[in-house]
Every structure is written in structure tokens, then in C-alpha cells.
Structure 1
Amino acid sequence: MGKLPKFYDSNLLVGTESSDDAAVYRISDDLAMIQTVDFFTPIVDDPYTFGQIAAANALSDVYAMGGEPKLALNIAAFPNCLDPEILGEILRGGADKVMEAGASLAGGHTIQDDEPKYGLCVTGFVNPASMWKNIGAETGDVLILTKPLGTGILSTAVKGEMASEEETAYAASVMATLNRYARDKVADLQIHACTDVTGFGLAGHALEMAKGSGKTLCISLGSLPIMKGALDYASMGFIPAGAYRNREFAGGECEFSWKNHSGESSENFWLEKTRCEAVENETGRSETIINEAELAAREDIVFDPQTSGGLLLSIDSQDADRAISRLSSLSLPCAVIGRVINLQKKHLVFVK
């Protein structure tokens, strides 16, 4: 994108300059249009479930902007050698998820390709005054993650025929869950920045927020909500290729505090007094990390590419408890994972 010409329009509220989740164009003083497109190859075997996950992933970009999706178009690729009923099931899964979102599906476009691909082009709307962006985080904000991490690692374990049916089904249910429900719970609170955690992993998307906001995000690895089994599979080496690319992309801006013994950093000051609170995650653990192996696995988790991941919220500290209380009523584990602090040497600091 850096080599493409820049487009200047006073009504283009969000374009390519901030690596945000979707484009936003102002129609009037109190109405703006959100547009996004996303599609990918199957990550589960069941066609209907794949359709649901792909649709939820595409719709998520609108929710990450604080908006409401209204119109969707299918975008699909499908091999001639496969049964057309498989494509029908994929499209049915997507249609059901669009209906759950309260939007309308109005057609789309399909091409022939060597492997299946599916997703949506989504149009939504938002009041510009209440629009969320992935920049604007303020010092003192609390960071909340609304879904557990680990979908990339679990998907890799599935391909390696290691993941159990229970773990596979749970991961699919997490990915198919709309971020609509999390957005609805916090829409009236003071959200200073928001993004959804998808292909660039927690570290990659957090880095975009930190850079765009001119801040450092301090994140507690021990407070991350993580899917059951993901830590074990990470320790066993089931790391997707995307995680290595994400580490290459974001790793240079990451400081892992336990590796720095110089005593020069001050970014842990907030954690020395108060541990990050965490809603009990799927592993049933919210205590401090107990061994180096788990610490290394959690480090891998922050670079793990997510599919239809949760929202990363930078919320005013006065609203954090209220947000967690509301989000905890949903079916998925969420957690306070850190705080926003003044800019340090690195944009991301990870503590135990």
C-alpha cells in the first residue's frame, strides 16, 4: 500500500494511513459509512462452520469501528472438482451469521480457483462522533481483551491431528462468535481506542494501536485469556508460519521485561502495586506464571495469528470495572490484560 498514490478527501475519515480495521466515509454530520472486505481459505473441515467463521471475521471489522453492519456481499472462490453442495453449505453458514448480525446479504461474486476461499464485503454505518479507531489510547487506560487467544496454534494442532474434538469444537465456537455482543456491552463507555485481534496477532495489532497513539502498551502475559490446549500445543511446537512473520513484524518493538536486567526501564511501575486483574480463562488459571516453559509458550501466543479474534479495548480506567462486569456475562472469557503508559523505549512491554 505504501507505493500507491495517496487519496485526499475531507470526508474520508479513515483510510490507509493508520492501518485501521476498515475504511470510513462521512455521509453527513451524524452518519458515516464503514466498508471492509475479508476472505480466506478453510481453517475447519465442516463447510457450514467455515462459512460462519469467515462471515464473523469479516463482520468484526465493522464492530471494531463501533459500527453496525447493514449490507454484505459474498466473495468466494471454488474448485470445479468439488461438490457444489459444499459451496452451498459455506454460503449458508455465512448467510446465517449475517442474519444473526441483523444485516442483509444481497448477492456477491464467485470465481473458479484451485482451493476454496470465502468471505464478505461488508458495509456498515456509525455516527462519526461515536466512531472507534485503532488510535487514540490515553495514558492510564486499561486494556481489555474480549476473546481468548490461541486459534492459530489450535488450528495447526488440528492439522497435525493432535487437537481433541472438544478443543476443536470450542475453538470453532469462539471464532464463530460475533464481536457484536462485546461491542454492545461497552458501547456507552469511554473507549479511547479499539481494534480486533486477527491475522497480525495480539502483538501486531497492539503495536498498531501503540504507534498510532504515541504510547506504550504494557501487557501482562499471565493475565491473557487463552484457549484450553493452546499453551500445551505451543510448547510442543505447533506454531503456525504466520506467528513467525508476526514476530518478525512486531518483535523489534517488543520488550519482555524479565529479559531486561539493566534496571533502566520504568514501564512496570503500575504493575508493582497492582497485578493485572484477569477473568478466569479456559485453563482455570489467572495466577502468575509458574515455569519458564509456560512463559515461553505465552510469548508465542502473543504472536499467534488469530481468526475472528476478540476486541482489544483501550478504555478509561474509571469504566474498566464496569466493562469487565458486563463482558463477563457473555459466554467467552475476557480479561484485563494491561495498561497504557507514556511512551518508553519500546511500544510494547510484556511483563510476567
Structure 2
Amino acid sequence: MTTGAGTYRLTQYAHGGGCACKIPPGELELVIADLLGGPVDDDLLVGLESGDDAAVVRLTADLAVVATADFFTPVVDDPYDWGRIAVANALSDVYAMGGRPLVGVNLLAWPRDVLPFELAKEVLRGGLAVAREARCHVGGGHSIDDPEPKYGMAVTGVVDPARLLRNDAGVAGDPLSLSKPLGLGVLNNRHKQTGEVFLEAVETMAALNEVASQAALAAGARCATDITGFGLLGHLVKLARASAVTAVIDAAAVPYLDGTRKSAAAGYISGGTRRNLAWAGPGTNFGSLPEVEQLLLADAQTSGGLLAAAELPGCPIIGELVERTAYDVVVRG
């Protein structure tokens, strides 16, 4: 973005970008291992145990609170679009639980001596626009001076405990539907390295998962997760382990954004994607699938789609859940 102070490419002020900056799933499991267990509270419906998208606490028989927080370094250079994407991504955790967001508070880290606050204002403005689209209040937030710019939101929502979507409720025989195409990590990495703008990727990331969440509930789904930094493969592994099933994926049915395969072949694979494959690969039977296709299944998404164990209108069915085998995931094709 060009300001009175010059031209800034926000992605150049961070070591990574978007959800590809997540701590790798294997390392994260080690960090939280000693935090599991302890006294059981029946009102904590979802906590750390299953690695789900948000925490859920029951208030009454038909009302529960959904709580989540998500933030990351710039995934695109345009500050307004970064704000839109970051908030859509944070709200997605509530939708992935079958909930409705009520209020969010901004989380902003800013290198105040390096980047003008005019850019920070645009980031916040973009976030506010998406929160308003979701009919979610924004009630202030918290900011710090930080060497790298970071932005996101802590979101509180509500859900009916009887209609909760969670990643440990998958059942053999359930189809798997995906609401957004893959390829966001590859295209974002290319954008960071070259400055090329991929408008389809931007709008895909900024799009809410509200409609997909409502469709999953209408279809009677009980199991869902959103696809973000661990990639489709990583989130599938977590879902399969939590649900004690195996996920079978039809590689030819998985949708990709235009330019994804060309960009992957050119080498625009993020470190986060490679870490995802290193973690999820041992539990996956890829058959004869080429390595580049394996990497695309592990591509670190930012504000990706909803993966639901149900048939969603307008969304491709990319596989199914089957009885547990020796593998977490089996890839066909």
C-alpha cells in the first residue's frame, strides 16, 4: 500500500505469513500434553483433549458459549484485505463448532517505529467490515508494540449444545464435504515472494464459513472442522484420530484454486506445508500419489473452508469416513 510515507509491502515485515506461521502440530501436542487431564467439569463440553477449533462451555440445557482467539502475521500486502482475512479466519472457529459469533475484540501487534499507524487503521477497518458482515459486535481489543505486525481477534459466540459440531464425532459411513478450494498457502507464498496478487485467493480467504456451517447443521452433521494452518491433511489426521475412524480421500475430487498447481511446480511451497506433511505423512497411505500432490494436500491454508462429515449442497464430496484401519488417512487416486 502507498501512503504519504512511502510504499509498504506488509508481507515483507514478517518471517512467515498467515496460518502458515502456526506452531507445527507435533510440537504443539508436546507443549500441551501435560495440560490435559485433571478434574472433569461436565459443563466444559469441548476443551483441549480433541484439539478442536474452539472451547465450548454449557450455560443451560440449550445454550453454550463458544470461545476462540486467532491472529497471525500479514498474509497479503494490502492492509484492508489482511484485516478482512484475519477476522474471517477467527470467526471460522465459531462456525466450525456450529455456533453464531456474538462479539469480538481486536488483537493487534504493531511495529510502531517501522510502519505508520495509517496502515494499522486500514487493518482494523477491514476486520470491522467482515465482523459487520457476520453481524458480530466488535468491542475494542488490545494492542502491543511488536517487531512484527500481527492481527486477529478473540471471538465469543453461542451454540446449541444439542447441535454442536466437533472433530471427535465422526462416524464411519459419513461423506466428507469441503466448502472452499485448496491452494491458499501456495498462492500466498508466491504473493509474498513476488508481489503478484491473486484476487480469487483473497476473496476466498475473506469469505465467511457461515453458510457452510448452517448447511452442515441443516444436514444433521455432528462432525466438522475448518481447514487452516495444518492443511487439509493435518486437520483430517486430527479428526480421524479424535473420532477413531480413518478418512479416505479421493485426490481427484479435491478442488484447487486457479494457479495452484503451476505455483507448486514452480517451488512456492511454504515451510509450514512441509512441516505439515512431515507430521501427517507417517499416518497416511498415499499409494502412488506424487510428492507435489502430497504437499498440496498438506498445504497450509489461511481462512480455508469448512470440512464437514455430511453432504453439503454446492460443495464437492472429497471422500468419506470408514472404520478405523492402520492409517489415519488413505488417499486414492
Report the TM range for the smaller structure's normalisation.
0.7 to 0.9
Q: Structure 2: give runs of 5+ residues left out of the alignment.
A: 1-31
Find the counterpart in structure 2 of residue 310 from structure 1: 305
Find the counterpart in structure 2 of residue 278 from structure 1: none
Are 2:233 and 1:200 equivalent residues in the alignment?
Answer: no
Alpha-carbon distance between aligned partners in 1 of 2:73 and 2:90, rounded to the nearest angstrom: 13
TM-score normalised according to structure 2 size: 0.87
Equivalent residue in structure 1 for 2:293, among 292, 295, 298: 298
Aligned-residue sequence identity (percent) comes to: 42
Equivalent residue in structure 2 for 1:341, among 322, 327, 331: 322
In the TM superposition, what is the alpha-carbon distance from 1:162 to its structure 2 partner? Answer: 7.3
- Runs of 4+ aligned structure 1 residues displaced above 4 Å come to none
In the TM superposition, what is the alpha-carbon distance from 1:189 to its structure 2 partner? Answer: 1.1
Find the counterpart in structure 1 of residue 13 from structure 2: none
Cα shift readout 1:252-298 (whole Å, capped 9, x = no counterpart): 11001237xxxxxxxxxxxxxxxxxxxxxxxxxxxxxxxxxxx4432
Equivalent residue in structure 1 for 2:95, among 49, 58, 63: 63
Find the counterpart in structure 1 of residue 185 from structure 2: 152
Maintained 8 Å contact 1:221/1:299: no
Alpha-carbon distance between aligned partners in 2 of 1:197 and 1:107, rounded to the nearest angstrom: 27
Matches within 5 A, 1:40-79: 40-79=72-111
AA at the equivalent of 2:104: A
AA at the equivalent of 1:257: G
In the TM superposition, what is the alpha-carbon distance from 1:185 to its structure 2 partner? Answer: 2.7
Alpha-carbon distance between aligned partners in 2 of 1:4 and 1:78, rounded to the nearest angstrom: 31
Q: Structure 1: give runs of 5+ residues left out of the alignment.
A: 260-294, 329-333
In the TM superposition, what is the alpha-carbon distance from 1:247 to its structure 2 partner? Answer: 1.0
Are 2:205 and 1:175 equivalent residues in the alignment?
Answer: yes
Cα shift readout 1:309-329 (whole Å, capped 9, x = no counterpart): 0001112xxxx3xx23xxx2x
Alpha-carbon distance between aligned partners in 1 of 2:195 and 2:174, rounded to the nearest angstrom: 39
Alpha-carbon distance between aligned partners in 2 of 1:27 and 1:162, rounded to the nearest angstrom: 48
Find the counterpart in structure 2 of residue 123 from structure 1: 156
In the TM superposition, what is the alpha-carbon distance from 1:61 to its structure 2 partner? Answer: 0.1
Provide the secondary structure at the position in 2 that maps to 1:132.
coil
Are 2:58 and 1:2 equivalent residues in the alignment?
Answer: no
Find the counterpart in structure 1 of residue 288 from structure 2: 258
Provide the secondary structure at the position in 2 that maps to 1:19.
coil
Cα shift readout 1:55-105 (whole Å, capped 9, x = no counterpart): 000000000000000010000001112211111110011111111111100
In the TM superposition, what is the alpha-carbon distance from 1:5 to its structure 2 partner? Answer: 5.9
Quote the RMSD (CA, aligned, Å). Answer: 1.3
TM-score normalised according to structure 1 size: 0.83
Maintained 8 Å contact 1:255/1:349: yes
Are 2:128 and 1:95 equivalent residues in the alignment?
Answer: yes
Maintained 8 Å contact 2:216/2:308: no
Maintained 8 Å contact 2:277/2:294: no
Maintained 8 Å contact 1:138/1:192: no
AA at the equivalent of 1:87: A
